[in-house]
């Protein structure tokens, strides 16, 4: 991450005029979510390809995009809580079923494919190691487990406490989760963006005051944010005496880095219009895109050797395969199985 490029980006956004839209309204953020999921997919593609400066740039961007996603989740939940009467009625049932039913069937699909690929390795010991090491059968689905934890914490907090105390409870719950993931030895990605979720709630609670500062001090804030982002992104270099991969400092510093990027991204959002019908469509299948891209990567790696000859071909096949299988699964699961539980 080059400081001069970041400063040029800051200058560019200072010159871009404001869009006459609510940058956090539903249509804009729904399209943005569709974009975020593809950024995360490219991060995982970049971990598999062998060459290319451009692909290398994606290897760290995924963790930042997850922070933005957690922020948007916290913001959206609180916004709906404030604006919809009896929002918490049936909250857990609706939220959990919407995720757990697709997650169950995609887990089954992974199990069938993995059993086909590595029959001798899929045994009780395999699943035991998954739990101990923080792995998941569905690739990268730690993200889904954390989202479900956020839903439960949000519901409990706002059904038991008044608004400010609920936010304090959620923040301490995120701290507890971070310490828990660290203590049981899970990888840093389990806990290095958790605080973006309560940050989204806090932003929604204080949006008018925050926006006055964002707009009145925009030029100063975007320059400060890119400088801070450069510093926090390189924390392993600056804090070599404290840093070790997956130690507690790594978890804490990762959260700070994610929050700084989220602030920077918010400053970008106020100048851009993300509304796009294709991105909106991709957001409607984003859960499936997230769950299935790892499966497509595994299949291509093991059964389509030609895909390994070109990074661009591998990326194109991954994206096309992921979109296709996600669309089919959504039709099969959402339009049939989920309807049964909604009745």
pLDDT of 180-189, one tens digit each? 999 998 988 9
Least confident piece of the model among 1-10, 96-105, 200-209, 249-258: 1-10
Region of poorest pLDDT, from 19-28, 69-78, 275-284, 323-332: 19-28
Mean pLDDT for 104-111 is: 93
C-alpha radius of gyration, the chain, whole number: 21
Coil, helix or strand at residue 193: coil
Q: Look-up: residue for tokens 């956020």?
A: 150
Return mean pLDDT, the chain: 88
Which pairs with CB-CB distance under 8 Å and at least 24 residues apart come from 148-156? 148/95, 148/96, 148/99, 148/100, 149/177, 150/70, 150/73, 150/74, 150/77, 150/197, 151/77, 151/91, 151/92, 151/95, 151/96, 152/92, 154/74, 154/77, 154/201, 155/88, 155/91, 155/92
Distance CA 193, CA 189 (A): 7
pTM over 0.85, yes/no: yes
Percent of the chain exceeding pLDDT 70 equals 89
Mean pLDDT of 289-298: 94
Position 263 scores a pLDDT of 96
The residue behind tokens 């203590």 is 183
Q: Does pLDDT of 52 surpass 60?
A: no
Opening angle at CA 325, ends 322 and 331, nearest 5: 135
Residue 222 to residue 219: CA distance in whole angstroms: 6
């Amino acid at each position: 991450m080059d400081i001069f490029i970041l400063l040029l980006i800051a200058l560019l956004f200072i010159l871009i005029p404001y869009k006459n839209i609510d940058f956090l309204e539903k249509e804009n953020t729904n399209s943005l979510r569709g974009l975020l999921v593809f950024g995360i997919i490219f991060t995982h593609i970049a971990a598999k390809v062998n060459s290319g400066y451009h692909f290398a740039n994606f290897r760290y961007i995924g963790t930042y995009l997850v922070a933005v996603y957690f922020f948007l989740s916290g913001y959206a939940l609180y916004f709906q809580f404030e604006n919809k009467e009896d929002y918490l009625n049936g909250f857990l049932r609706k939220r959990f079923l919407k995720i757990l039913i697709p997650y169950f069937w995609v887990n089954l699909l992974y199990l069938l494919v993995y059993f086909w690929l590595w029959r001798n390795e899929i045994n009780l010991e395999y699943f035991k190691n998954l739990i101990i090491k923080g792995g998941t059968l569905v690739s990268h689905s730690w993200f889904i487990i954390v989202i479900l934890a956020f839903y439960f914490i949000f519901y409990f907090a706002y059904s038991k406490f008044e608004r400010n105390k609920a936010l304090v409870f959620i923040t301490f719950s995120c701290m507890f989760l971070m310490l828990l993931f660290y203590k049981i030895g899970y990888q840093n990605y389990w806990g290095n963006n958790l605080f973006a979720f309560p940050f989204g709630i806090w932003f929604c609670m204080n949006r008018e005051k925050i926006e006055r500062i964002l707009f009145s001090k925009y030029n100063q804030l975007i320059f400060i944010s890119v400088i801070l982002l450069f510093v926090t992104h390189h924390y392993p270099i600056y804090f070599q005496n404290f840093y070790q991969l997956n130690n507690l400092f790594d978890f804490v510093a990762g959260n700070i880095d994610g929050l700084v990027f989220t602030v920077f991204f918010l400053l970008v959002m106020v100048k851009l219009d993300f509304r796009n019908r294709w991105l909106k469509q991709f957001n409607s299948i984003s859960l499936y895109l997230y769950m299935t891209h790892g499966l497509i990567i595994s299949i291509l790696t093991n059964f389509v050797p030609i895909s390994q000859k070109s990074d661009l071909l591998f990326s194109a096949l991954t994206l096309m395969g992921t979109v296709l299988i996600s669309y089919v699964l959504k039709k099969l699961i959402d339009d049939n199985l989920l309807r049964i539980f909604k009745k």
